[in-house]
Amino acid sequence: MININPINIADNFKLDQGSKQIEEPNKENFSNYFNKKLQEVNQLQKDSQKMTADFAVGKTDNIHQVMISAEKAKIAVNLTTAVQSKAIDAYKEIMRLQV
Protein backbone atom coordinates (compact mmCIF):
# COMPACT_ATOMS: atom_id res chain seq x y z
CA MET A 1 0.00 0.00 0.00
CA ILE A 2 1.22 3.49 -0.86
CA ASN A 3 1.12 6.21 1.77
CA ILE A 4 -0.49 9.42 0.57
CA ASN A 5 1.06 12.56 1.99
CA PRO A 6 -1.31 15.47 2.59
CA ILE A 7 -0.72 18.65 0.65
CA ASN A 8 -0.26 21.57 2.98
CA ILE A 9 -1.82 24.40 1.01
CA ALA A 10 -1.30 26.96 3.78
CA ASP A 11 2.48 26.80 3.27
CA ASN A 12 2.07 28.11 -0.26
CA PHE A 13 0.36 31.28 0.96
CA LYS A 14 2.84 32.30 3.65
CA LEU A 15 4.70 35.54 3.04
CA ASP A 16 8.45 35.41 2.64
CA GLN A 17 10.38 37.15 5.39
CA GLY A 18 12.11 39.36 2.83
CA SER A 19 8.98 40.40 0.99
CA LYS A 20 7.74 43.98 1.14
CA GLN A 21 4.79 44.93 3.24
CA ILE A 22 1.92 46.42 1.31
CA GLU A 23 1.82 50.15 1.82
CA GLU A 24 -1.52 51.54 2.89
CA PRO A 25 -2.96 54.18 0.61
CA ASN A 26 -2.88 57.77 1.71
CA LYS A 27 -5.82 57.95 4.09
CA GLU A 28 -7.53 61.28 4.29
CA ASN A 29 -9.85 62.24 7.09
CA PHE A 30 -13.49 62.14 5.91
CA SER A 31 -14.20 65.53 7.43
CA ASN A 32 -11.27 67.12 5.57
CA TYR A 33 -12.31 65.44 2.31
CA PHE A 34 -15.92 66.59 2.71
CA ASN A 35 -14.88 70.16 3.54
CA LYS A 36 -12.61 70.26 0.50
CA LYS A 37 -15.46 69.13 -1.75
CA LEU A 38 -17.82 71.72 -0.25
CA GLN A 39 -15.23 74.40 -0.96
CA GLU A 40 -15.04 73.19 -4.57
CA VAL A 41 -18.83 73.49 -4.89
CA ASN A 42 -18.67 76.99 -3.41
CA GLN A 43 -15.93 77.94 -5.88
CA LEU A 44 -18.03 76.65 -8.80
CA GLN A 45 -20.89 78.88 -7.64
CA LYS A 46 -18.61 81.91 -7.33
CA ASP A 47 -17.14 81.30 -10.79
CA SER A 48 -20.62 81.00 -12.26
CA GLN A 49 -21.77 84.23 -10.62
CA LYS A 50 -18.67 86.07 -11.83
CA MET A 51 -19.08 84.81 -15.40
CA THR A 52 -22.77 85.77 -15.36
CA ALA A 53 -21.94 89.26 -14.08
CA ASP A 54 -19.18 89.65 -16.70
CA PHE A 55 -21.62 88.64 -19.42
CA ALA A 56 -24.26 91.04 -18.13
CA VAL A 57 -21.92 94.04 -18.28
CA GLY A 58 -20.43 93.03 -21.63
CA LYS A 59 -16.96 91.93 -20.50
CA THR A 60 -17.46 88.64 -22.32
CA ASP A 61 -19.64 87.53 -25.17
CA ASN A 62 -19.16 83.78 -24.78
CA ILE A 63 -22.63 82.68 -23.70
CA HIS A 64 -21.63 79.03 -24.02
CA GLN A 65 -19.03 79.22 -21.26
CA VAL A 66 -21.43 81.18 -19.07
CA MET A 67 -24.11 78.50 -19.47
CA ILE A 68 -21.63 75.65 -18.95
CA SER A 69 -20.40 77.29 -15.76
CA ALA A 70 -23.96 77.77 -14.52
CA GLU A 71 -24.86 74.14 -15.22
CA LYS A 72 -21.73 72.85 -13.47
CA ALA A 73 -22.64 74.88 -10.39
CA LYS A 74 -26.25 73.69 -10.54
CA ILE A 75 -25.24 70.02 -10.81
CA ALA A 76 -22.73 70.39 -7.96
CA VAL A 77 -25.36 71.98 -5.69
CA ASN A 78 -27.92 69.29 -6.57
CA LEU A 79 -25.41 66.55 -5.81
CA THR A 80 -24.45 68.20 -2.52
CA THR A 81 -28.11 68.44 -1.56
CA ALA A 82 -28.64 64.76 -2.40
CA VAL A 83 -25.64 63.73 -0.29
CA GLN A 84 -26.92 65.86 2.58
CA SER A 85 -30.34 64.23 2.35
CA LYS A 86 -28.85 60.72 2.34
CA ALA A 87 -26.63 61.56 5.32
CA ILE A 88 -29.62 62.86 7.29
CA ASP A 89 -31.64 59.75 6.39
CA ALA A 90 -28.78 57.52 7.54
CA TYR A 91 -28.49 59.45 10.81
CA LYS A 92 -32.22 59.11 11.44
CA GLU A 93 -32.05 55.39 10.73
CA ILE A 94 -29.19 54.97 13.20
CA MET A 95 -31.13 56.90 15.83
CA ARG A 96 -34.08 54.52 15.38
CA LEU A 97 -31.95 51.49 16.20
CA GLN A 98 -32.52 50.10 19.65
CA VAL A 99 -29.52 49.27 21.73
Domain count, the chain: 1
The residue ranking higher by pLDDT, 89 or 22, is 89
Strand, coil or helix: what is 2?
A: coil
pLDDT (average), residues 7-13:
61
The residue ranking higher by pLDDT, 77 or 4, is 77
Percentage of the chain exceeding pLDDT 90: 64
pLDDT (average), residues 67-78:
96
pTM: 0.65
Q: Is residue 14 part of a domain?
A: no
Q: Is residue 40 part of a domain?
A: yes
pLDDT band at 27 (very low <50, low <70, confident <90, very high): confident
Q: Is residue 45 part of a domain?
A: yes
Q: Does 70 score more than 70 pLDDT?
A: yes
Q: Is residue 64 part of a domain?
A: yes
Q: Is residue 17 part of a domain?
A: no
Task: Single out the residue of 46, 16, 37, 44 nearest to residue 80, CA to CA.
Answer: 37
User: What is the torsional sign of CA 75, 80, 85, 89?
Assistant: positive
Q: Does 12 score more than 60 pLDDT?
A: no
Residue 45's φ and ψ, nearest 5 degrees, are -65, -45
Domain containing residue 71: 30-97
Q: Is residue 75 part of a domain?
A: yes
- Report which secondary-structure segment, H or E, holds 72: helix 63-96
